Structure 1
Amino acid sequence: MAEVNYAQEFKRSIKDPENFWMDQASNISWFQKPQRALTKDQNGFYRWFKGGKLNTCYLALDVHIENGRGEDIALIYDSPVTQSIEKYTYLELRDQVSRLAGGMKRLGVEKGDTVIIYMPMIPQAVISMLACARLGAVHSVVFGGFAPHELAIRIDDAKPKLIITATSGIEVDRIIPYKPMVDEAIAKSTHKPDHVIVYNRRMGAVRPDQENDIDYATLMKIADPVRCIEVDATDPLYILYTSGTTGKPKGIIRDNGGHAVAMHYSMKHVYGVNPREVFWAASDVGWVVGHSYIVYAPLVYGCTTVLFEGKPVRTPDASTFWRVISDHEVDVMFTAPTAIRAIKKEDPEGEFIKQFDMSRLRYLFLAGERCDVSTLNWAGEKLNVPVIDHWWQTETGWPIVANMMGFNEHFDVKPGSATQAVCGYDVQILREDGSEAERGEEGYVTVKLPLPPGTLPNLWGDTERFIKGYLNKFDGYYFSGDGGYIDEDGYVFITGRVDDIINVAGHRLSTAEMEEVVAKHPDVAECCVVGIEDDLKGQIPLAIAVLKAGACIESFQLQSEVVGDVRKEIGPVASLKKVLIAERLPKTRSGKILRKVIRAIADGKEFTVPSTIDDPEILNEIEKLFQDQMVGSFEKKVKQSN
């Protein structure tokens, strides 16, 4: 554990980032060490460790083998949905990765090429990511639940040389045929990849073969293993798409050098883990948590990582998480509050926990969306370990605010706060005019530049959007898109998005994108989609539609058709299930829909009627509509009264 205390370390990271991060960079193995930490590129953007040369796959696998740890377990695959467990040593994982990389090289993949990975939670997904890193290729993992339309958008943006997929994913009660979805996406996209590598799961899913398809197992048989390719610290490791307010996803870039340094640092100082311990992030490789804390950080740091294919409940029941912790002797776990809420709902007294040996579990970390007080307290009480709520974003790749467990001194928990800024992040709350807010005053959550290593240096192919979305609002600051405040003790409280992004069970989704789908319905004149509070998922989307004159569609039919359209266009992850019909929508006199006010009404919160509102009476109509349909807080009040 760290010898210095948090206050000293944090101060040094902000006052002297150059030397602070050069010290951290010495903890990883470089092919060529950087001469300095911080520089600026031709756009004037900060870059980390320019001149350094390394390979992220080498850090994750080869270096541990060279240090005599080849027979240690690197990856545990636990799949209650297929009732199978597989364990891979560092040597076994390296051999699989180097052979797939050789096969990809045989298919023409070179350093700097892009590869899309559309896979379920299976070892081959991790192997594919690391194989790309080994070649210096840039991977973009697309969450397997996304619809062909969404995949097609990412194909056209990333322009992959090849796609790696599987025949199917598996949910609690159904098989999801991935290959037909990939074929449909390619048919819809303008860019066409050279090949599609298909891993056959042998679950009976439809596997249509195309001319350029390559069987994964066959490729592995004929491929020659390859060594790691040397890349620059500033070369991209991956692109990860996240929802944008325009409906077009943003391609977050992660570089190799800064990312590796940040991953190593965070495992020790944020999560308080030691090498050789077992770390489990119960997420999906399609999300940033999966990239950072299923694949890269644990392996770079030398931990055993758990890859879990299942759900917190119904696979087979609410005991699954505790069984995994017990079976694999998990030391530190990371999941979303949604997962804990689902378990709590099924097993409110925590009876399942008593059936398992949880003695190895030291900390539970929660992030991804709002962590309510009751969930935080329930988990702490039932597990009898510190439960750490922390906050970060796809853009940053690792925590911005946390109770850093790698230090000997820890902060007292304040429910509702993710505690204090992580070393390297100069978090500040700014007013609309750019002035610094007083303690306790709500404003815009920003980070004073430079951002620390591992954070996004740019967007893939869209520098203008990067500047406009993150840097233009406040000169010299990264704008997080969130609102919040810092209290008198320095604790950071995040109050929610200030744009149209909502957080559904840890999945960032664009309400603007959903609105586009709703608006396409032939009977809809105009609409809005807002995220309202939900006890289980944190937020869920709600659509309100105004019908065209003369339309005579019934509300249940509109809801069925719109829900189906959103599921087809965006995917089931969107969770849009409720569509209301209104006579009109509350707007300003300039025509802007008052989404924030609609959210407040649905959530039963106080709000100020904007002075610019066109007709205040419409708010009463919306409130009555919600009451009649038992939406949001009205539904909660009815349930409570019953």
Structure 2
Amino acid sequence: MTTAEAAAPAAVVAKTEAEAPHVAPAASLIGTKYIKMPANDHALAEEADRAPVFCVPERMRAEPGRVPHVTSLAQYRAMWQKSIDQPGEFFGEHARELLSWNKPFTIAKHGGFEHGDHSWFVDGELNACYNCVDRHAHADPNRVAIIWEGDNPADGHVEVTYAELLRDVCRLAGALKAAGCKKGDSVGIYLPMVPAAAIAMLACARLGLVHSVIFAGFSADALRDRLMDGKCKVLITADEGRRAGKTIPIKRIADEALYEARSVETVIVYKRTGGQVRMIADRDIYWEDALKPHRPYCPPVPVAAEDPLFMLYTSGSTGKPKGLVHSTAGYLLGATLTTKYTFDVHPGDKFACLGDLGWITGHSYIVYGPLTLGVTTLMFEGVPTWPTPDRYWSLVEKFKFTQFYTAPTAIRALRRFGSEPVEKYDLSSLRVLGSVGEPIDPQSWEWYFNVVGKGQAAIVDTYWQTESGSHMITGLPGATPQKPGSASLPFFGFEPIILDPHSGTVLQGNDVTGVLAIRSPWPSMARTIHGDHERMMSTYLLPYPGYYFTGDGATRDKDGYIWVRGRVDDVLNVSGHRLSTSEIEAALVADEMCAEAAVVGGQDELTGQHIVAFVSLKPTNVPEKDIPTLLTHSVRRAIGPIATPKKVIIVPDLPKTRSGKIMRRILRKIVAGEVDSIGDVSTLADPNIVQVLVDLFQSYKK
């Protein structure tokens, strides 16, 4: 046990460096190459160094029969070092342990960043669906694979066993074969959060088809572009969807997209609501009619380890979506390994990831990671605050989830309602609480830890990307003392480096701030951008040759902990001072009046840029006219005068996607006066908020 682990009970928070329990410095924690040196950005480094330290909760050590997979920093350090020094051996051992192979591999690692030919387990063969479904259906057919909870609590829930999942997957695989799909073909999936979406993904994997899940909140144009780019042969969709009590016309949107997406020959329509929709003869078929003729068993097709499992689109800086292609074996290992170790998953656990299958979080931590490990996973159709703000907590008590994974935006939204909705429920089953999507502000972190976890559930603040496929930087529940706001330490196989953004020089030592990059390939890294490998190279591998460019800025503090500072283009330059928008947002949210904040830069003839803050409020008796000044003072106190917002605009809400991500791009367009080029807003939970924000900003200028 380290000094840090022995020095303080789990719930004790050390508020200053002098009070803090010792955390092993990076020289012993990660590797001798990271030695102590002066900070190159004092404001950011000092903020990181002042952070409180939360030790591993005592429950993680004391619960009978639940010894963590990694129990100390020393064990983590040894495993991490091996994953860096001997990656082929390290990941080869885990690939043999966690995955079932039709043909064992003999070559674990091949290629690198120089040519973008990074590959893993190249001569092996396996089937992802078999790993997720068959082997568990054979071993324990009545074990629950998926718990589905509908949008409306009155809809109740559905439990799908591994045996039932296998039968439905096989029938759909039969339907896809009947539609003419062959190994390597692409299938579009445009479905709400229903079990059919996971079944569709797994049926594609069973046949060696490449699935392309398209978020069900996307517009017809966005759907069309993705179907056309992926050359999808079949589209699996639904009549309608439900979200926060509203009905979403999914089939109607799909029909509009298909006017131009002519590669689609067959449309399979799942009945979610039973609403009446237009069905096109010789193209459209209802789900039950498509599955009915086919046997409940269809043999899985072995595929090469490097064969694509799926493509998933993410926004690019050019505006053209990037279809990131993930391999079968490398991706599956990354999703499984991180599910096991990041969330300390054990047999019998019930895993609640509140993401959406339209994003990488849902792929890795609703479907592939939990199911490969054979545990129970949640699919939740609804939102955290509808119809009441206790929806999440009622689910935890009802199903006794052991892991809970959601976004900082959801945590902040729930925090606005205080502790009462949480305290009505028994959440004692929770062992690990995860955060995903963006850096979590320290105040929300502490609320999550103390109110939701009662100081006895470990928090993992996970940093990763669609491109990475799985966690890159995260704590481990049984081993890592946590600093609220820091993603903490690299996961196995990831060697993060901090680069000078201008020279590309590696910044040695600790207390350094710069561009975050990764030194070497890892198994779950995306292999290419569909149809455009040159773009893959120019976006990720050529900006800093020899390294993977994350696009994010970061600080490595005195203890070697990584603090992600947001996208490089989210760093403001005010009078020659580099300021992190996430840092300013954290200072605003720390004020008791502020519920949420989003900070962007405006052009300024004198200072280069100035700071514009959009904030939503908690209930308060303070006159609204006084609030901008008070919030400005809060930022000055927290960061300094240089970070003073020039404009603080009070808004009813921020532009957020249905998954809860704040679309700062829209706010930048509003501030720049480029309202006409805001683009597609159909992914927003409330598209009407855009005009409200435009009007408020225009009123402020007057």
TM-score (norm: length of structure 1) = 0.80
RMSD, aligned CA: 2.8
Residue equivalent to 1:434? 504
Does the CA contact (< 8 Å) of 1:74 and 1:93 recur in 2? Answer: yes
Q: 1: distance between equivalents of 2:671 and 2:464?
A: 33
Q: Kindly provide the CA deviation profile for residues 403-462 of structure 1, in whole angstroms up to 9, marking residues without a partner as x.
A: 122xx4222x21221111111101001012121124223211100122x11111111111
**C-alpha distance in structure 2 between counterparts of 1:268 and 1:288, whole Å:** 17
Whole-angstrom distance in 1 between the partners of 2:207 and 2:156: 30
Structure 2 residue 488 is matched with structure 1 residue 425? no
| Residues 123-174 of structure 1, C-alpha deviations (whole Å, 9 max, x = no match) | 1111101000011100000000000111111011100010000001112132
1:373 corresponds to 2:442: yes
Does residue 235 of structure 2 align to residue 163 of structure 1? Answer: yes
Residue in 2 aligned with 1:278?
Answer: 350
Distance 1:430 1:472 in 2: 14
Deviating more after overlay: 431-440 vs 175-184? 431-440
| Distance verdict in 2 for CA 1:627–1:181, change over 3 Å | closer
Once residues 492 and 614 of structure 2 are traced to their aligned partners in structure 1, the CA distance between those partners, rounded to angstroms, is: 31
Amino acid corresponding to residue 9 of structure 1 in structure 2: M
The question of whether the paired residues in 2 share the 8 Å contact of 1:531 and 1:539 is answered with no
Normalised TM-score (structure 2): 0.73
Q: Does the aligned pair in 2 maintain the 1:76–1:304 contact within 8 Å?
A: yes
Q: Does 1:83 align with 2:197?
A: no
Map of 2:32 onto structure 1:
none
- Say if 2:293 is the partner of 1:222: yes
Q: Which runs of 5+ in 2 are unaligned?
A: 1-67, 572-580, 586-608, 617-653, 655-660
CA distance in 1, matches of 2:371, 2:562: 30
Aligned residue in 2 for 1:567: 681
The question of whether the paired residues in 1 share the 8 Å contact of 2:151 and 2:245 is answered with: no
1:217 is paired with a residue whose SS is helix
CA distance in 2, matches of 1:334, 1:626: 34
Q: Structure 1: how far apart are the matches of 2:397 and 2:336?
A: 26
Q: Distance in 1 between matches of 2:108 and 2:612?
A: 41
- Shift, 1:341, TM fit: 1.2
Residue of structure 1 in register with 2:86 after alignment = 16
1:214-257 deviation line (CA, Å, top 9, x unaligned): 11110111123411001010000000000000000111111111
Structure 1 residue 545 displacement after superposition? 7.5
Classify 1:128/1:573 alpha carbon distance in 2 versus 1 (closer, same or farther; 3 Å). Answer: farther
Letter in 2 for 1:430: L
Give a deviation string over 1:293-352, Cα, whole Å, max 9, x none. 0011000011100111100001x211111111111110011110111111111x21x112
Structure 1 gaps of 5+ residues are 505-527, 548-557, 582-624, 632-642
* Alignment match of 1:34 (pick from 99, 102, 105): 105
Q: Which residue of 1 aligns with 2:25?
A: none
**Cα 1:29–1:533, aligned 2, differ >3 Å: closer, same or farther?**
farther
Aligned-residue identity in percent: 35
CA contact (8 A) 1:175 1:205 kept: no
For residues 36-89 of structure 1, give each alpha carbon's deviation from its aligned partner in whole angstroms, at most 9, with x where no partner exists: 2101299551101001100000000101123x2111111110114262200011
Asked whether the 8 Å contact 1:146–1:573 carries over to 2, the reply is: no
Q: CA deviation at 1:539?
A: 5.3
Counterpart residue number, 1:351: 420
Residues 1:482 and 1:205: Cα distance change in structure 2 (over 3 Å): farther
Q: Which letter maps to 1:216?
A: W
Question: 1: distance between equivalents of 2:334 and 2:149?
Answer: 27
Which residue of the partner structure matches residue 556 of structure 2? 486
Whole-Å separation in 1 of the counterparts to 2:446 and 2:394: 21
Match 2:515 to one of 444, 448, 459? 444
Show the counterpart of 2:360: 288
Alpha-carbon distance between aligned partners in 2 of 1:94 and 1:236, rounded to the nearest angstrom: 22
Q: Where does 1:585-600 land on structure 2 (aligned, <5 Å)?
A: none
Residue number in structure 1 paired with 2:69: 2
Cα distance in 2 between the residues matched to 1:428 and 1:376: 25
Q: 1:545 to 1:23 in 2, by over 3 A?
A: closer
| Match of residue 266 from structure 1 | 338
Q: Aligned pairs, how many?
A: 543
Give me the whole-angstrom Cα distance separating, in 2, the residues matched to 1:270 and 1:577.
41
Question: Could you tell me which residue of structure 2 aligns to residue 48 of structure 1?
Answer: 120
Q: Distance in 2 between matches of 1:486 and 1:256?
A: 33
Q: CA deviation at 1:211?
A: 3.8
Q: CA deviation at 1:573?
A: 7.1
Report SS of the residue matched to 1:146: coil
State whether residues 429 and 442 of structure 1, in contact with CA within 8 Å, keep that contact through their aligned partners in structure 2: yes
Letter in 1 for 2:264: P
